[in-house]
Structure 1
Amino acid sequence: MTTYESALEYSQAGLRVVPCKPQSKEPLINDWPKRATTSPSQLRDWFEGHPERNIGLLTGGGVFAVDVDEEQGVKSLNGFVRGRSWPHTAMAETGNDGFHFLFRTNVQVPTQTGFRPGLDLRGESAKIVVAPSVHPDTGTVYRWISHPLDGIAIAPRWLQSWIVSESTATSNTPASGGSPLVLNHSGDVEALAADVIERFPVAQKGTRNAIMVKVLCSLLGRGQEAEVAAEVAIRWWQHFYDRGTIGTTPKEAARTIEKSIKSIIKSGSLQRAVSRDHSAKVAEQSLSPQQSAALGLSDQEANTHSLHTGLTTSLRSDLDRWFAEALLLHSQYEISKEPTREAIPFTSNQLRDLVETRHGRKLKDPEIERLKVKFVSRPDKPANRYELAEQTYTGSSYLRKPSELRLTGLQGLLPP
């Protein structure tokens, strides 16, 4: 994707773009807070034929960024959040081991540098540099983990309250320096409502509850806060009530939806929504006869010529073999998406759900951890039976970043 095409995507997300000098955070234009734009023609003038230019996004007027700087910033973020809600939202790696999180708000957000060690707020009349820009110090390309077109979440209430308490501003409206930001992406309530109405239609009476649960799981699983999910679900309910396929009046909707949301969150199923979608795709794959034999999943004698000695005999139980199978299938799937990938992202839930999908056995947390101890080495702790893989990075729930691994004992089983 060209720099110009990337700039157009930001404009489609309602984000105002600022051209920056090559491999620099310095704006290319004067008076950039006022001249930042979503205009396709202006973006063409700035970026078409100039792939070397960096891209900046103006913050303020309805959107702000939390800038996490390197390891110190990650530690500060963990302490700042302290177990409170941190919804899934647009998130980027910044090119120097840092991160940007974008949030929507209706309060004025002042720019604050170092409000915690390694943490900055980018608010009114500030900017952030974004993909595919090149970091000025490291030469590393910025990249999105979750793109703004996939949604910018409303900032959690506790964070907005903290911003208000820290700020001298008394207005709950965006600052006057530029037009308010109108975001036309999936994070908007209207867009979310249109999305679930299209994806989860109620064709006949009597099916409302089952479909409503799917609506709520879809919204909550995308990181929307409970209040947003409830508002969207009420609009979904009203739509199909007006069409006669939901018989209960919308007056009853709020109470029913609230109870359903509490039940879904309490069940813990949301944490596995993305993982289950992943396992369904991975489970469509199949192992070759040679792979199955090497893992002890078939009666065929394994040809271990290219394998590490002891692999087959180290997998002593069905759980051992199923865990190894899940690791191999997951890795094959990730590599098929990005053949040059060296580090393979993974979560325990992905491996757990693959085992359940293929064999109907739901692993408990202690079981999956024991399997990892037996077969996955970590920098400070080798696998205690046989190393199938090496964990090279430990993920962070706050950063929505999975762990990463590198196949070792299973490497010889990967297709050429």
Structure 2
Amino acid sequence: MPSRLHRAALAYAARGIPVFPCQPRGKEPATTRGLLAATTDAAAIESWWQSAPDLNIGIATGAPSGVWVLDIDNEEGEASLRNLEATHGPLPATIEVITGRGRHLYFRLGEHSLRNSVGRIGSGIDVRGDGGYVLAPPSVHPTTRLYTWSVDSAESFSDAPDWLCRLAEAAETDGKGRSLEGWHRTLTEPIHEGSRNVTLASLAGKLLCHDVNLIVVIDILHCVNIARCVPLLAAQDVDRIAVSVARTHLTRRGDRT
């Protein structure tokens, strides 16, 4: 009989939400293609979860799924959100998931094009959009806590208010990338679990856009992983991130030529 995770992955796909496998009780992708493997193909999903029934479920955010996620981390993120709502107005009820350390608020992407950002909207608040992913219920957090639907969850994805979309769009980039101050803060502070993949991928993209050799990029990512990531990513995961970003970078550059 299919596991609960297996059945849930198929159910997401049936609703048109692309999924891919992540490590059991972990957040790292369980395929070499990472979130690029996200699919609604039932045969692929059957193959993944039949071979490993306890795989966690990743949802590719942004354009693939048509949703983006506001990741509220612990009380720090909740305090930041309260301040934002006091200034701009309350958020609408939407699909909400309780995570191992906070909650995820899902919003309809609509015509927006949102990428990932970490702590830019407010301390403890991350954005997951194009190029990002989140774990979905009933995945198991590394703390062994289950990802669960909130009792306050709405029945469907809501549109985010304009003020939140503006903040998310402004947070994702400063011109062609993160400001020097933003990169300095990123590379001189700990990069915690949940932000490691996105941060290293952003750094790889930044370096590749400036024509830094891929071998050098991989070396830099390993140095940052050792110096800043808490806990460390496995070496093969760092390699995978660099190669995945490089492949996307080359594809986009080819599209422009």
Fold conserved between structures, TM > 0.5 = yes
Contact 1:22/1:53 (<8 A) preserved: yes
Counterpart CA distance in 2 for 1:12 and 1:88 is 24
Secondary structure at the residue paired with 2:150? strand
Residue from 136, 144, 147 that aligns with 1:142: 147
Query: Which amino acid counterpart does residue 123 of structure 2 have in structure 1?
Result: P
Residue from 108, 116, 119 that aligns with 1:114: 119
The TM-score normalised by the length of structure 2 is: 0.60
Contact 2:115/2:132 (<8 A) preserved: no
Q: 1:182-193 maps to which residues of 2 (within 5 A)?
A: none
Which residue does 1:54 correspond to in 2? 56
Contact 1:111/1:124 (<8 A) preserved: yes
Q: Give the 3 Å change call, closer, same or farther, for CA 148–53 of structure 1 in structure 2.
A: farther
Query: Which amino acid counterpart does residue 155 of structure 2 have in structure 1?
Result: D
Counterpart CA distance in 2 for 1:30 and 1:15 is 20
Contact 2:117/2:127 (<8 A) preserved: yes
Counterpart CA distance in 2 for 1:102 and 1:92 is 8
Indicate yes or no: 2:134 matched with 1:131: no
Counterpart CA distance in 2 for 1:22 and 1:104 is 28
Question: What CA deviation, in whole Å up to 9, does each residue of 1:235-265 have, x standing for no partner?
Answer: xxxxxxxxxxxxxxxxxxxxxxxxxxxxxxx
Which residue does 1:210 correspond to in 2? none
Secondary structure at the residue paired with 1:81? helix
Q: Structure 2 regions of 5+ residues with no counterpart?
A: 176-257
Which residue does 1:227 correspond to in 2? none
Which residue does 1:93 correspond to in 2? 98
Which has the greater radius of gyration? Answer: 1
Which structure carries more relative contact order (alpha carbon 8 Å, separation 6+)? 2
The TM-score normalised by the length of structure 1 is: 0.38
Counterpart CA distance in 2 for 1:32 and 1:149 is 29
Q: Structure 1 regions of 5+ residues with no counterpart?
A: 171-416
Indicate yes or no: 2:33 matched with 1:31: yes
Question: What CA deviation, in whole Å up to 9, does each residue of 1:326-345 have, x standing for no partner?
Answer: xxxxxxxxxxxxxxxxxxxx
Q: 1:180-259 maps to which residues of 2 (within 5 A)?
A: none
Percent identity (aligned)? 33
Counterpart CA distance in 2 for 1:74 and 1:139 is 22
Counterpart CA distance in 2 for 1:20 and 1:31 is 11
Residue from 74, 79, 103 that aligns with 1:75: 79
Contact 2:94/2:107 (<8 A) preserved: yes
Structure 1 stretches of 4+ moved >2 Å: 48-51, 146-150, 161-170
Contact 2:93/2:153 (<8 A) preserved: no
Counterpart CA distance in 1 for 2:35 and 2:152 is 23
Counterpart CA distance in 2 for 1:4 and 1:158 is 37
Q: Give the 3 Å change call, closer, same or farther, for CA 149–91 of structure 1 in structure 2.
A: closer
Counterpart CA distance in 2 for 1:148 and 1:40 is 27
Secondary structure at the residue paired with 2:146? coil
More strand by share: 2
Q: Give the 3 Å change call, closer, same or farther, for CA 103–131 of structure 1 in structure 2.
A: same
Secondary structure at the residue paired with 1:44? helix
Q: 1:5-404 maps to which residues of 2 (within 5 A)?
A: 5-48=7-50, 50-61=52-63, 62-82=66-86, 84-96=89-101, 98-105=102-109, 106-115=111-120, 116-136=122-142, 138-145=143-150, 150-168=155-173
Q: Give the 3 Å change call, closer, same or farther, for CA 168–101 of structure 1 in structure 2.
A: same
Question: What CA deviation, in whole Å up to 9, does each residue of 1:145-171 have, x standing for no partner?
Answer: 26999311111122122233444499x
Counterpart CA distance in 2 for 1:149 and 1:7 is 20
